[in-house]
Every structure is written in structure tokens, then in C-alpha cells.
Amino acid sequence: MRSSLGARRDTGRQESRPWKTRAVSELGAARSRLLRMLEGLPEDALTRQHSPLMSPIVWDVAHVANYEEQWLLRALGAPALTDAAFDSLYDAFRHPRSSRSRLPLLSPERAFAYAARVREASLEWLQHLHEESDAPLLRGGFVFGLVAQHEQQHLETLAATLQLMTSHEYRPAARPRPRPGRTAQHELFIPGGPVRVGSDAAWAYDNERPAHTVDVAPFLLDAHPVTNGDFVVFVESGGYADARWWDPQGFEWLASEGIRHPLFWEPRDNGTWLRRRFGWVEPIPPDEPVQHVCWYEADAYARWAGKRLPTEAEWEKAAAGSDVRPRAYPWGDTAPGEGHANLGGELWGPAPVGSYPAGQSVDGVWGLLGDVWEWTASTFGGYAGFKAFPYREYSEVFFGTEYRVLRGGAWASAPVAVRNSFRNWDYPIRRQLFAGFRCARDAR
């Protein structure tokens, strides 16, 4: 695919361009993380289908490279490295995850070599692009942000695959976890009023656009996500057996699957609980946000507690604060750093609540970004004025009542793909996600 996007060779001295610098940095960060995560895994671990919910790891490796080839080379006028037949192997819509192990995929060695070859060509072609281009794909470096975020999102998916893997032991080396400043759960009053929802930032996705103002009624919101210690009370009080707390479809699903506790939890005879986290089986830390719960579980807990899940608009109101000034993150406009939130995957799990005081919102809400994705009450749809870009299959084909929205990002999410306006979505039964929740209540 050829395109007239200002992709011509510069004969003079190339000045440093802000979005080009960011593009190189974010692409490099994603690839370095990919190689760190998968280093040392044997070929069988890379090629095996570890769960019907997930692709073989080697499929993801070649898929992110093929996506990069399509958008950073062909879409920008650079020569193609592969063809449409090759694309079809790594087309997520053509081949469901459960069938991908039966495809004639590249071997691990060839997949990593292909990814390296595409990256080299992309960085070379980047030097030929003019930052001032008015082409939609290049405005603000959008397409480079698209590809960097796409790769990091697949790395979060790979982390979920590694957690589901039972045929090989995967024990990542995690950094020491921070010591929390405080842990007591409490409710905060979030004043009602206008809030700027969504984003028109250069690297925002189409489902975040256009930014617009909505009015939110005053409400109460938990200061922290619900913790393991909170959730075990719900489990031990018979919450999974009491239909009063469950959406009828959720209770039917619960009974059909025989589910009695969050995914990866294991009860012990002495009344305590263990969890499996990658290669470890360990006591459940009571002060960490609960994770690997689906929307039905989160909704049931909230009802049991006499509360509810927040809507998307309420969640973004809590993150944005009590004024209408656009704010990219709960703490302001400074990009996430190590002191703000547990992001980037280095801890390999949630941190105790209260660990990141610098990440509080202006209204005092803790942990809105990082640690666990937070289920909301909202279904997934486009904002008024939505326009699919650069392709319908990123967002628009998923609009509908069957998907619930998650906000905030998890410990495995990359900072580049986390902001107040970022929207994730999945089916309400999905539990392999690094997802938890916090509760809300009407203010009366």
C-alpha cells in the first residue's frame, strides 16, 4: 500500500522532532519489555496453546510485528516485507484465539527475526517522514502511538497467558513492593457537576474521542479498590451462593461453571486462602486489590455491600477532579512515574493499597491508575460524534451491550496506554484479566 504522507528523503540536516523522539522511545520500551518477558522460555512454551482464551505466545510475537509492518511501513508508503497471505495468518478477526495453534505459524526463531526486521525498517522509514505532515495518520505521530500502545497491550495479554500457563513454571523476578502509607477503606464525596470526558490528545484512540463535557450527580466512591481482605468476607459469608446479589445471567453462569471464588484462589482446610501467581503458590495478601474477578463478581460484591459499581462518567469525574480543566492523569498532567502508580509490569502483581500517595486525585482518591483494571457499570459504545479511525475493527465492531467497560489500567499496563480517558472493555464473564473494582454509592 502506497501513500502520499510526506514520506520523502531529507537531503539536509534532520532536526530533532518531539513526536519522533517519543515514538522511538516508546517503541523501544515495548520491544525491550517483550524480550525481557520471554527470555529463557523454551520453544514448547512459546508454541503451545496454554488456554483457549489466549493465543500461542509465538502468534502474538509475529502479530505485533505484522501490525507494525502494516501501519508503520505499508500505510506510510514504505516497501512491504510480506504479503496479504501472510497478513491473514496473523489477522485477529480471521482466526479466533482457540484456533491459532493449528495455523502454519512462524517458528519462534523466525518470529523474533521477523519482528527485528520490521522494527529496523520502521525506524529507518521514520527518519524520512516530516513531522509537519497534515496526514491524519501522522498528525502528532498518531500512528506511531497506535503501534507502540498496541504492542504494550499485547504484552499485557502475554502476561495473562503466562499466568494461565501450567505446562511450564514461569517465575519472573519482581521488584520489592512498596510499603503502603495507609490501608483503611473509606468513602469519599465526589461533588457533582461538569466533567470533561474523553480526549482529543494526539495518541488517544478513536473510542476516547471526541472530548466532551457531561454533568455528573454527586456520589460517594471508595477511596481504594476493593482488597482481597474485603472480598474474602464476601466469599466466606456465602456470597457466591446467594442469588440476591447476582445479576440473573451472572448467577446462571456461576452455577454452570461451579465457581465459588476468584480465579486462581485455593481454599485450605485450616480456613485460610492461597493463590497461584505465576510460578508461586502463596498466602493471599489481604491488603492488595483483589484481581481476576469478572464483572458479575464485582457487581455482586457491590450489591452485597449495599453499593454499586461506578459509571464510566463517574469514574472519569473522580480521576479528573472537581473542576472542568482537562487533566490527563488523576494527579495532573505529568506523565506517570514510579511514584505515581504501579504500572509497566515490573512488580508482577498489585501493590498494597495506599502505596502511591503521589498518585492520588485532587479529591483524595487512591489508585485510580495501575494495580488493577476497574470494572464499571457502563456498557461499551461510542461517544456522540464518534468516528472510526483508522479502522472499524479497533473499537466500533465491539460497541454493544454485551461488553462492559474497564478503566484505569493494571500493574501489567504500560504508562503509554494509561490515562484518565482510556477505555478497555470485555465480556462480563472474563476473569483472566488483571481486573478488580471499587464501589460507589448515590449521595443522598
Of 429, 442, 419, 437, give the one whose Cα is nearest residue 200.
Answer: 419
Model pLDDT for residues 182-234, shown as the tens digit of each residue: 668 899 999 989 999 999 999 999 999 999 999 999 999 999 999 999 999 99
Mean pLDDT (the chain, rounded): 92
Q: Which fold has domain 187-228+288-442?
A: paralog of FGE (formylglycine-generating enzyme) (3.90.1580)
The residue ranges of every structural domain in the chain are 18-164, 187-228+288-442
Q: How far apart are CA 153 and CA 64, in angstroms?
A: 10
- pLDDT bin (cut points 50, 70, 90) of residue 15 is very low
Torsion sign, CA atoms 67, 58, 159, 402? positive
pLDDT of 144 over the 90 cut? yes
* Burial annotation 150-186 (CB, 10 A radius, 16+ → b, else e): bbbbbbbbbbbbbbebeeeebebeeeebeebeebebe
For residues 369 and 328, the answer to whether their CB atoms sit within 8 Å is: no
pLDDT of 13 over the 60 cut? no
Residue 274 has a CB neighbour count (10 Å cut-off) of 15
Model pLDDT for residues 41-97, shown as the tens digit of each residue: 999 999 999 999 999 999 999 999 999 999 999 999 999 999 888 999 999 999 999
Torsion sign, CA atoms 419, 421, 422, 427? positive
Residue 192 has a CB neighbour count (10 Å cut-off) of 15
For residues 237 and 208, the answer to whether their CB atoms sit within 8 Å is: no
Q: How far apart are CA 423 and CA 435, in angstroms?
A: 13
- pLDDT bin (cut points 50, 70, 90) of residue 323 is low
pTM, rounded to two decimals: 0.94
At the top level of CATH, which class does the domain 18-164 belong to?
mainly alpha
Model pLDDT for residues 16-52, shown as the tens digit of each residue: 348 999 999 999 999 999 999 999 999 999 999 999 9
Model pLDDT for residues 380-395, shown as the tens digit of each residue: 999 999 999 999 999 9
Bridge partners of 103, per DSSP, are none
CA distances from 124 to 61, 78, 128, 150, 260 (A): 21, 10, 7, 20, 53
Residue 393 has a CB neighbour count (10 Å cut-off) of 11
Mean of pLDDT values over 401-414: 98
Q: Radius of gyration of the chain from Cα atoms?
A: 22
Q: How far apart are CA 317 and CA 42, in angstroms?
A: 46
